[in-house]
Amino acid sequence: MAASAAALAELEEERVTSIYRVARSIKRKHNSLYNALRSIYEDSIFVAEIAGLWPDLPLVANLRCGLWYSPRFEATCYFKSTDGHANNWSFSTSRLNLHLALLAGQRGGCIVVDSTRKGKRFPDSMSKTIPIWTCVLNRAIERWLRRMPRQIQVDGHQDLSISSSEIMERHNSPDWDCSLHLPLWVSNTERAAIEDHIEEWTWQLEACGADIDSLASIIQKPLRPLWISQKTVIWLNEVPNYDSWDFTPIILVSASASHGTIQQRSTSEFSWHYIPGAGDDEESWARGLHPTLFWKHAYNLIDSGPSMCNQNVSELVEKDRVYRAQRGDFSPQVAIRTWKKLTSNAEQSCMSMTSELSDSVSAKSSNSERGLYWIGSTNVAVGTTVKGENTYTCADCILNCDPKSISPCSTDDGYLHLPILSSKLDRFSLMNSLHLAIRFAGWHLKRGKKLVICCHNGEDISICVCLAILAALFDEEGCFDDGKLYKSTIITKWEMRRRLVFICKFAVNARPSRGNLKQVYGFLRREREHFVPTDPVSDFDVLEQKSWAGEAEIVVSSDAVQ
């Protein structure tokens, strides 16, 4: 009896296991690479139709999912759905997206594209995060408008981008809308809870050092979100002109259909399954393909059908990797994680694919020489690692945080290579390198040199290194003081946030990770008591200069590391 019971239990366990195995197999089949790319392609047609209704408005992708849904984005932004989750609402001063507000003010509005997989019409980034953002910015501008007439009366007319009469006219206008605009499906209870935090978030925006003056001078009408999905009914003969509205529209387009289940679709040639929000979580399906590469070969990939899609994508990714490696760009070989064999390199593969996408985003969003962003008048710039001749001709010295070194032929004064890893791979790599980075930067900045800080995507590690350098060597006005302020004050998270906002004002593509920011904060708090201002004698004890083949490279001595 006992043996038969054990046998029955074993059979039951095998039956349950086989059911789960079949279910996983079906899910993998439905979430195939071809199904994802075909779904993105179909949704991009809807995005193009909406963009065609207001062709003068810039099309903006909300990273990273939204970047898949059009080949013609003019800019990118970064609003996280987690900032809009129920009971977790927040206004992030590290993701202010002020460049989006300025772009909307200059062009009269903008169209933001995103998507979601969860069967909802809109992701929380569009339902709540962006509405909170527009409301906070509107209130900050309204407060600025109320203060400026009094400032003008006290100080007289100053050299402002808008005249005092325009300020008074907008201040006295009752049309400046500061209310919170949320979609109808957000409950009144949740709306009231969010409104309770608006004043606090507005104060945070003002206190973090954001450039409210520029916002107020460029945004002539209050920002307001509008929502469009594939279920939205629009009469094509009655499309309103955005200039006629009494607000600056932030048109939020959810690219995918809001079906809760995967739909079977077919054409004359192929049958495929539609995946809502297919562009989300590309690490799990894209196999190294990034949006820029996809749209270069979109028609060939779609026409190749499900049977050849994986092979064609693999060939394209490898050809692109080789091409970029020959040009000296950061191009790691992508390790594909197959469904049959889950390797232990999942995190490394994820980073490789993320870096591919980040590189393409940086290339499209860059608005300066070779992707460099000069941080005000600090003589410090951040950007992506570029190899080859005539690299960074506008710089005197280079601080390379990329895992791979470069040959800076145009730089005679200094080059320091610190192969810093992501916080996902090494939780202390950045922290352990900041001391040498600050000493190197201080020695050159003290002599009026121009410094470039670069990493593989110009969005994370280089931004964090720049943040540490500004906090340690510059005062609150952005003037070099060789560490005097840092030595005499205690750095706080709020002060770090102010410095980061200052950097993001110029480096609009900055997206520092939380793990790396924590390392910067930990270093600045730990090293303040032991900080020594840069000195030419002591610094050359730490940094030995070696020259060969016409190149100058400063390398770290073994004694300094110890």
What does the pLDDT read at residue 352? 38
Angle at CA of residue 364, ends 282 and 161, nearest 5°: 125
The dihedral through the CA atoms of 243, 244, 245, 250 has a sign that is negative
Does residue 214 surpass a pLDDT of 70?
A: yes
Does residue 212 surpass a pLDDT of 80?
A: yes
Angle at CA of residue 292, ends 290 and 293, nearest 5°: 70
What does the pLDDT read at residue 257? 87
What does the pLDDT read at residue 14? 61
Strand partners, 251: 111, 226
- Residues 6 or more apart whose CB falls under 8 angstroms from that of 204 comprise 91, 93
Locate the DSSP E strands across 30-170.
59-62, 75-77, 110-114
Alpha carbons 315 and 365: distance in angstroms, whole number: 27
Of the given ranges (17-26, 32-41, 553-562), which has the lowest mean pLDDT?
A: 553-562
Residue 554 backbone phi and psi in degrees, to 5: -95, 125
Residue with tokens 């050092």: 209
Taking residue 195's Cβ as centre, other Cβ atoms within 10 Å add up to 14
Alpha carbons 425 and 406: distance in angstroms, whole number: 22
Helix H, strand E, coil C: the string for 205-228 is HHHCCCCHHHHHHHCCCCEEEEEE
Does residue 388 surpass a pLDDT of 90?
A: no
Report which of 332, 297, 122, 375 is spatially closest to residue 225, judged by C-alpha positions: 122
CB 275 within 8 Å of CB 41: no
| Beta strands 397-400 and 414-417, pairing class | parallel
Confidence class for position 350, pLDDT limits 50, 70, 90: very low
Q: In one letter, which amino acid is 127?
A: S
Question: Hey, where are the domains in the chain?
Answer: 30-149+176-254, 372-528
- Greatest distance between any 2 Cα atoms in the chain: 99
Report which of 393, 390, 374 is spatially closest to residue 382, judged by C-alpha positions: 374
Give the pLDDT confidence of 302-324 residue by residue, as tens digits.
Answer: 998 888 989 999 999 999 888 87
What does the pLDDT read at residue 266? 67
CA atoms within 13 A on the CB side of 248: 27
Does residue 137 surpass a pLDDT of 60?
A: yes
Report whether the peptide linkage leading into residue 370 is cis, meaning its omega lies within 30 degrees of zero.
no
Report which of 373, 120, 322 is spatially closest to residue 229, judged by C-alpha positions: 120
User: Mean pLDDT over all residues of the chain?
Assistant: 79
CB 288 within 8 Å of CB 317: yes
Give the pLDDT confidence of 44-63 residue by residue, as tens digits.
Answer: 999 999 999 999 999 999 99
What does the pLDDT read at residue 404? 81
Report which of 244, 210, 255, 202 is spatially closest to residue 109, judged by C-alpha positions: 244
Alpha carbons 293 and 312: distance in angstroms, whole number: 12
Would you tell me which CATH number, out of the four given (3.20.20.70, 3.40.50.10800, 3.30.470.10, 3.90.190.10), belongs to the domain 372-528?
Answer: 3.90.190.10
Confidence class for position 372, pLDDT limits 50, 70, 90: confident
